[in-house]
């Protein structure tokens, strides 16, 4: 008859094991930096039900003319949440995040779902709720058989995107309206990436969604200069001045491939827009 006996590691063996907290502080700081820089672009895009559940209940809808969409709480990077949840690592992680914010290396992701007849679902995937200088923002647009009013028409989608960027540059990713939340945010590289969503396309209307994505891609590539410069001069794009003064570079991408890059700083000089300067500590 066999008898299974569970063997526990000896005390001497456990004492010789290397754990994260026993590593030198310099090495731990380097690991924190690597973890904060890990891309979160492959995080599963939020769906409509998640977006609705994430809507702030203590603020009004943000509106622009006939455009209405619910204000959203930013979705936090799970790596940061885990670091801060650990009592032993909380203080060190907090200092690492503070250094990360001050160096201007903050990167954000915004997921936009254009779907149905009226809703426009924005969800921020962010490390920090607010940073004055953001190095990179990637806006991924998923279009699923949206009506013209919901962003199915290219001009409608770009118009909504402009207002969304305008709100972010003034108030941060929480999109809370109100004078008390006025801020100055500078974005060095903004990439708009029009992507497909296999999970949505499997449910139907994939052909219509593909056509809408291609129309939006072509419209942005061919007309973004007109929207930024010519229409600004005619004062027909209310979000133009803020965008020109605070964004340095704009990239238009399709399925992850950058198709067009625009030096927004140069466009601002053409329009004689006063550009917001980078804080002294962020200049290189």
- As averages over each run of 10 residues, the pLDDT of the chain (284 residues) reads 55 67 88 71 48 41 39 57 80 79 65 64 61 80 69 77 79 55 80 76 63 87 76 60 87 92 87 76 43
The reply to whether 10 falls in a domain is: no
For residue 73, the enclosing domain spans: 21-36+46-282
The separation between CA 273 and the C-alpha centre of its own chain, rounded to angstroms, equals 25
The reply to whether 142 falls in a domain is: yes
pLDDT computed for residue 71 by the predictor? 42
The reply to whether 101 falls in a domain is: yes
pLDDT computed for residue 37 by the predictor? 64
Alpha helices in the chain (DSSP H): 11-16, 25-37, 48-53, 78-85, 90-102, 154-171, 198-201, 206-225, 231-233, 240-246, 264-270
The reply to whether 1 falls in a domain is: no
The reply to whether 3 falls in a domain is: no
End-to-end CA distance of the chain: 73
The reply to whether 247 falls in a domain is: yes
The reply to whether 227 falls in a domain is: yes
Contact present, 142 and 113 (Cβ < 8 Å): yes
Q: Which residues contact 150 (CB under 8 A, 6 or more apart)?
A: 114, 115, 116, 117, 118, 119, 120, 156
- The SS3 of residue 78 is helix
Q: Which residues contact 62 (CB under 8 A, 6 or more apart)?
A: 68, 69, 70, 71, 163, 167, 175, 177
Neighbour count for residue 271 (Cβ, 10 Å): 15
The total domain count for the chain is 1
- What is the distance between the alpha carbons of residues 119 and 259, in angstroms, rounded to a whole number? 28
The separation between CA 247 and the C-alpha centre of its own chain, rounded to angstroms, equals 14
Beta bridge partners of 108: 137
pLDDT computed for residue 134 by the predictor? 80
- What is the distance between the alpha carbons of residues 173 and 284, in angstroms, rounded to a whole number? 26
Return the percent helix, strand and coil in the chain, to nearest 5: 45, 25, 35
pLDDT computed for residue 93 by the predictor? 82
The reply to whether 86 falls in a domain is: yes
pLDDT computed for residue 19 by the predictor? 84
Q: Which residues contact 155 (CB under 8 A, 6 or more apart)?
A: 219
pTM for the predicted model, two decimal places: 0.64
Give the residue from 145, 140, 142, 143 showing the smallest Cα distance to 116.
145
- What is the distance between the alpha carbons of residues 52 and 19, in angstroms, rounded to a whole number? 41
Query: What are the backbone dihedrals phi and psi of residue 103, each rounded to the nearest 5 degrees, phi first?
Result: -80, -5
């Amino acid at each position: 008859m066999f008898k299974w006996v569970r063997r526990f590691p000896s005390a001497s063996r456990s004492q010789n094991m290397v754990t994260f907290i026993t590593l030198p502080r310099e090495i731990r700081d380097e690991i924190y930096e690597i973890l904060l820089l890990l891309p979160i672009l492959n995080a599963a895009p939020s769906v409509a039900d998640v977006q609705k559940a994430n809507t702030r209940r203590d603020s009004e809808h943000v509106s622009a003319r006939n455009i209405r969409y619910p204000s959203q709480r930013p979705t936090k990077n799970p790596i940061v949440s885990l670091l801060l949840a650990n009592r032993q690592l909380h203080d060190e992680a907090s200092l690492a995040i503070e250094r990360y914010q001050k160096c201007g290396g903050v990167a954000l992701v915004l997921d936009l779902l254009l779907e149905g007849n009226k809703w426009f679902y924005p969800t921020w995937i962010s490390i920090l709720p607010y940073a004055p200088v953001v190095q990179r923002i990637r806006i991924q647009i998923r279009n699923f058989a949206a009506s013209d009013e919901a962003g199915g028409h290219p001009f409608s989608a770009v118009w909504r995107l402009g207002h969304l960027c305008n709100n972010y540059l003034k108030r941060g990713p929480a999109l809370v309206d109100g004078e008390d939340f006025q801020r100055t945010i500078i974005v060095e590289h903004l990439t708009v990436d029009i992507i497909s969503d296999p999970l949505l396309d499997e449910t139907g209307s994939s052909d219509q969604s593909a056509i809408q994505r291609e129309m939006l891609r072509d419209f942005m590539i061919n007309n973004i200069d007109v929207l930024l410069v010519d229409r600004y001069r005619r004062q027909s794009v209310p979000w133009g001045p803020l965008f020109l003064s605070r964004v340095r570079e704009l990239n238009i991408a399709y399925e992850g491939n950058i198709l067009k890059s625009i030096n927004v700083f140069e466009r601002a000089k053409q329009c004689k827009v006063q550009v917001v300067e980078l804080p002294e500590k962020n200049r290189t």
